[in-house]
Amino acid sequence: MRKIGMSAVLILVAWTMVSVVSAMQHEATADKGRMLFNDTKLGANGKSCNNCHKDGAGLEKAGVKQDLETIVNTCITKALTGKALKAKSVEMQSMVLYIKGLGSEKKPAGKKAPVGC
């Protein structure tokens, strides 16, 4: 009887962990946005957003744009020759969170970053 009880507890714990991991995968985060920003698979030409905007340079004020999703998709479809992201997708919302976070970070003074792709 104890073995059955212990097995049930282990199954419950495993199920809970899988549920938490699954929920985290479906939640937009700036970390996911940063990973996408650096991911060459976002496009079809072997480049990432980071090729034009090294470490987010030049995007510090982009986070206040009302049409940020459109701007992101323009870069993805034109510069990266990729497929546009859906506005409400976790991927797009993660990219938006990452880009908005760039405006709150202090960047060292230096060369002016390129604007656009």
Q: What is the dihedral of CA 18, 22, 24, 28, to 10 degrees?
A: 180
CA atoms within 13 Å, Cβ hemisphere of 82: 22
pLDDT for 74 equals: 96
Mean pLDDT of 20-43: 84
What are the pLDDT digits (tens) for 64-85? 999 999 999 999 999 999 999 9
Q: pLDDT digits over 2-13, tens only?
A: 666 777 767 776
| b (16+ CB within 10 A) / e for 77-94 | eebbebeebeeeebbbbb
The predicted pLDDT at position 27 comes to 94
pLDDT at 23 over 50: no
Q: Is the pTM of this model over 0.75?
A: no
Confidence category of residue 17, pLDDT binned at 50, 70, 90: low
User: Which of 6, 7, 8, 29 minimizes the C-alpha distance to 93?
Assistant: 29
Share of the chain above pLDDT 90, in %: 64
